[in-house]
Chain A
Amino acid sequence: MTAPVLSVQGVSKTYTQRAGLFGRPSQTYALRDVSFDLRAGEILGLVGESGSGKTTVGRIAMRLIDPSEGKVYLAGQDVTALSSTALRPMRRRIQLIFQDPSASLNPRQTIRQILRTPLRLRGITDDTEIARMLAIIGMGADALDRTPAMFSGGQRQRLSIARALLMNPDIIVADEAVSALDVCVQAQVVNLLLDLRDQFGLSILFIGHDLGVVGLISDRIGVMFRGSLVEIAPSRGLFERPRHPYTARLLAAAPRQGGKLTPHAEVDAGRLSPTSTEGCAFAALCSHAITECRTTRPVMRETAPDHWTACRRADLDLRPAHC
């Protein structure tokens, strides 16, 4: 098998926080010992708790921020220690579509200028590719002379997708790239990413919250909770037979067309308890937790072929009740 296009090995990221101006600094983990491979031509989904470190993983993969510990390999080469000049040619091969499009489009440039930049970097001077890309993202040539502020949220997101694709990258990190799009445009972009993968072997790290979309587009899915990767498995196996209690909870909470929620006032108390640093990050919320769960950190084990789970009790049957 060829080397993975992107390999994240034992990566942690800590931030120092102070209680007040003179308080004692304390370390918080945004990521904790995360390892996974993005295989060539694979679409790897990343889902999980808000604030669990998904965006941080994407930014570390791009070397936009440095890991506190661990290593990142691009096509087998360790890029953790590369200087920014040595990184530059690498950067072009991996493109990020940001979660927040308005933060990534220069408000003073027209769309034409914004979309020409990636082509210029590739030495292309004519605009035929721009026209083709606009058609793919469902926009007309009248967009070209306007500035980002004149577009809706979803239109801006489509423009930033177009810009990333015009770089002709090998790897795309798509950070909630389709969540601002209406379902019809979302379908077009999802199909486009699948086509690019099938035709050109593009590899994609696809971060998202809509489990239907992530399930459909991804070959495998990783699940994150409070800085840890708790499960990673082929999509179908993960949905049909989740083996980590957090994954099962996530799948059960997914909203469905025709479903209704009831009001409630109470906050799940376990959700607010501080994350245990010794034991499993999910222990305080987990109805299956045993004493060891709170004292020793579970390690990733292969619980089924290519299905890895960081749970002491991965033998539990967590299949959703309706299956």
Chain B
Amino acid sequence: MTLLAVRDLGVDFGGPPIVDGVSFSMKRGEIVALVGESGSGKSVASLALMGLLGRGNVTGSAILRLNDGRETDLARISSRERRGVLGRHVSMIFQDPLSSLDPIQTIGAQMREVLSLHCGLRGGKAQARAIELLHEVGIVDPQACLKLIPQRLSGGMRQRVLIAMAIAGEPELLLADEPTTALDVTVQAQVLRLLLSLRARSGMGMIFITHNLAVASSIADRVIVLYAGQVVEDAPADAFFAAPAMPYSKALLGAAPGIDSVFGARRLPILRGQVPAPGERGVGCRFAPRCDAMRPTPCQTQMPDLLNIADGENEVHAVRCGRWEELAR
């Protein structure tokens, strides 16, 4: 059952598109990792999906099918409709914890408000649930944490408070933008397992934005790679980590130092050049100027399509590379 179908999503801020013809769909309960270079439009795309992009023009559609059969286009939802959907059915963990918490209210007050709004819990019940949620995300002393204002929490504690608030309403779709960057690996594993068990229990689907490919590997069913505003690979996680097909995906997997191979190397492998600015993209493949496998034709002359190269029917492994077949040999 499809939970979300994104078709040709585009976002611009008056200039060239920042998010450019992004299409993908996800099933109920599926966990999709969205990875890709910094500035490729991951946050902008997810804010557009949440209808939270202040300025900026959004084109295309993002059809959300809720459990109760309702269908909504998240790309053009009215603000009244949005209030009924956000928090309850769809919720988001923002990339920047400090600016998404109210600096002058205690964590307790902010959590009670969320619990009242999305779960109808008040008073002692809300307090008890808040403590339980903070326990689940591994906060050592929840009672003390509830009394503090955000500034007094460590970076990782803030992130966990946001996660606790986002899952409080047991949403059907969770958009998590770099939710575990400030967590140590043991707490990170605990939080990821919590999200996995929430998925098992309530069928929550999740878009998990991350730069950490080992984290993506730990929880994702599918990996979508964004480069210069476009989807360049969309693959089942197993296939992706075993044999990524797009040269940029290969570069990503090679650039992260694994914990088992850090000694010996004195420097990390570098991908030469930089991402073209939105106004400076050529007609060909946007990765061409940095790609070791580049051939003037077709790479510089024609924008490669996003092709499904999966063997089985009903499977998706899409790749945007004009030479994927030769490179796979």
- Give the interface of A toward B (CB within 8 A): 15, 17, 19, 28, 47-52, 55, 99-100, 102-103, 138-140, 142, 151-155, 158, 176, 179-188, 190-191, 194, 209-213, 215-216, 226, 235-236, 239, 249-251, 253-265, 267-268, 271-272, 274-275
Give me 13 A-to-B residue pairs in the complex whose CB atoms sit less than 8 angstroms apart, sorted by A's number: A49-B187, A55-B155, A180-B38, A182-B38, A186-B256, A194-B267, A212-B261, A235-B262, A253-B186, A257-B214, A257-B253, A261-B189, A263-B196
Min distance, Cβ B35 to any Cβ of chain A, angstroms: 8
5 A-B pairs with the lowest CB-CB distances in the bound complex, closest first: A50-B156, A154-B38, A263-B196, A187-B268, A263-B197
The residue of chain A having its C-beta at the shortest distance from the C-beta of B248 within the complex is: A184
Produce 1/0 per residue, B170-201, CB < 8 A to A: 00000000100111111111101110110111
B38 & A153 in contact (Cβ 8 Å cutoff):
yes
Contacting pair A262 B193 (CB below 8 A): yes
Q: State whether B186 touches A250 (Cβ < 8 A).
A: yes
Chain B 127-140 interface 0/1 with A at a Cβ cutoff of 8 Å (1 = within): 00000000110101
Most buried by B among A52, A215, A263: A263
Whether, in the assembled complex, B157 has its beta carbon less than 8 Å from a beta carbon of chain A, the answer is yes
Question: Assuming A254-B214, A255-B218, is B185 touching A184 (CB within 8 A)?
Answer: no
Contact A155–B185 (Cβ < 8 Å): no
Q: A50-B156, A138-B274, A256-B260 are in contact. Are A183 and B213 (CB under 8 A)?
A: yes
CB-based nearest B residue for A224? B184
Interface residues of B (CB under 8 A from A): 36-39, 42-44, 95-99, 135-136, 138, 140-141, 144, 147, 152-157, 160, 178, 181-190, 192-194, 196-197, 199-201, 211-215, 217-219, 241-242, 251-253, 255-263, 265-271, 274-275, 277
Among B98, B141, B156, B275, the most chain A Cβ lie within 10 Å of the Cβ of B156
Q: Is the CB of A183 within 8 A of B265?
A: no
Rounded to whole angstroms, the CA-CA distance of A115 and B184 in the bound complex is 32
Q: Which residue on B lies nearest to A189, using beta carbons?
A: B268
A255–B188 CB distance below 8 A? yes
Q: Which residues of A sit under 8 angstroms from B147, Cβ to Cβ? A: 17, 19
Q: Could you tell me the distance in whole angstroms from the C-beta of B201 to the nearest C-beta in chain A? A: 8
A187's contact among B39, B261, B270, by CB below 8 Å, is which? B270
Q: How far is the CB of B314 from chain A (nearest CB, A)?
A: 23
Q: Secondary structure of the B side of the interface? A: helix
Asked whether, in the complex, the Cβ of B251 is within 8 Å of the Cβ of A176, the reply is: no
Residues of B within 8 A of A209 (CB): 181-185, 188
Residue of B nearest to A158 (CB): B38
A181-B38, A263-B200 are contacts. A191–B267 as well, Cβ < 8 Å? yes
A152: chain B residues at CB < 8 Å are: 38-39, 42-44
Contacts of A271 in B (CB 8 A): 138, 140, 190
Q: How long is the Cα–Cα vector from A213 to B263 in the complex, in angstroms?
A: 11
- Select A153's contact among B178, B201, B262, beta carbons within 8 Å: B178
Q: Which residue of A lies closest to B156 (CB)?
A: A50
